[in-house]
Amino acid sequence: MSWELFWLLVEASGLTILYSGVSIVIGFVLASGICAAMLSSHRLTANGGRLYVSFFRGTPLLIQLLLVYYLLPKIGLNVPSEIAAIIGLSLSTSAYQAEILRGGFQSVPRGLLEAADMCGLSAFASFRRIRLPVAVRLTLPALTSEAIMLLKSSSLVSVVGVVELTTMAKDLASSTYQPLPIFAAAGLVYLIINLVVAGFGRLAERAAKRGHA
């Protein structure tokens, strides 16, 4: 296995990072809404949020991706497979992130919120200054592992014809007849990306902890 082949894998990993990065961000935005729905006191909204999370956490991502891929054209949306893949990944990760956020918000100690109330903070100020920062601090490790999970799962978009690291590895493996070194190299590239993400996660945790007991 030559350096040129390895370089092709590294280049393709840029697309993997792009697709998973975009999906994580879109997923986080969706997750904030779903989390708010789940924590809402309106019964129907809360149950809707829970159903959404249960469905996307209860079905294989491979099937979600294929479903989105075939469903979009059927309802008249002819989007490229890359967009379909990003939609599928975003929907899936939004459910996991929503569940993580819900756990975080629910473990913010009640005493903190009562204290904020006593100090005369408005509901908004109490959310922005107390609930949000504490919840973010509590959920950062879990959000980092979810980002790593999604990066790994993004390899599944290769089955709907999207070009990224795994697709490239598969093509190279069949054109060079060297599956073992090429898939091992692809695994190595994933591992390096994930170690970097984990490192950033730890940095973010440390930054969030600064100034807190």
Q: Which spans of this chain sit near other proteins (rule: CB under 8 A)? A: 54-55, 57-64, 66-67, 70-71, 74, 148, 152-156, 158-159, 166, 169-170, 173, 177-180, 183-184, 186-187, 190-191, 194-195
Q: Give the whole-angstrom CA distance, residue 152 versus residue 146.
A: 10
What is the chain's Cα-based Rg? Answer: 20
Structure-block tokens of residue 187: 């695994």
Closer residue to other proteins (CB): 135 or 189: 189
Give Cα 209 to chain centroid, integer Å: 22
CB of 129 to other proteins, least distance (A): 29
Closer residue to other proteins (CB): 89 or 116: 89
Place of tokens 């469903």: 71
For every residue of 110-165, DSSP letters joined together read HHHHHHHHHTT--HHHHIIIIIHHHHHHHHHHHHHHHHHHHHHHGGGGGGGT--SH
CB of 195 to other proteins, least distance (A): 7
CB of 42 to other proteins, least distance (A): 24
Closer residue to other proteins (CB): 57 or 129: 57
CB of 191 to other proteins, least distance (A): 4
Closer residue to other proteins (CB): 24 or 116: 24
Structure-block tokens of residue 130: 């107390």
CA angle 152–158–160, rounded 5-degree value? 130
CB of 94 to other proteins, least distance (A): 16
Distances (CA, A) of 88 to 20, 46, 102, 210: 11, 23, 22, 36
Q: Which residues lie below 8 Å from residue 66, measured CB to CB, with a gap of 6+? A: 159, 160
Closer residue to other proteins (CB): 34 or 91: 91
CB of 67 to other proteins, least distance (A): 4
Closer residue to other proteins (CB): 131 or 170: 170
